[in-house]
Amino acid sequence: MSITRLEPEERLCGAVIHNGLVYLAGQIADDATLDAQGQMADILQQVDAILAKAGTDKSRLISVQIFLADMNDMASMNRAWDAWLDQSNKPARATVEAKLANPAWKVELTGIAALS
Model pTM score:
0.95
Q: What count of other Cβ atoms lies within 10 Å of the Cβ of residue 28?
A: 20
Residues 9-33: what's their mean pLDDT?
A: 97
The range of the structural domain enclosing residue 14 comes to 3-114
Residues near 82 by beta carbon (within 8 Å), at least 6 away in sequence = none
pLDDT of residue 37: 98
pLDDT of residue 116: 79
- Number of separate domains in the chain: 1
CATH code of the domain containing 21: 3.30.1330.40
pLDDT in tens, 54-113: 999 999 999 999 999 999 999 999 999 999 999 999 999 999 999 999 999 999 999 999
Q: How far is CA 3 from the centre of its chain?
A: 20
Residues 30-46: what's their mean pLDDT?
A: 98
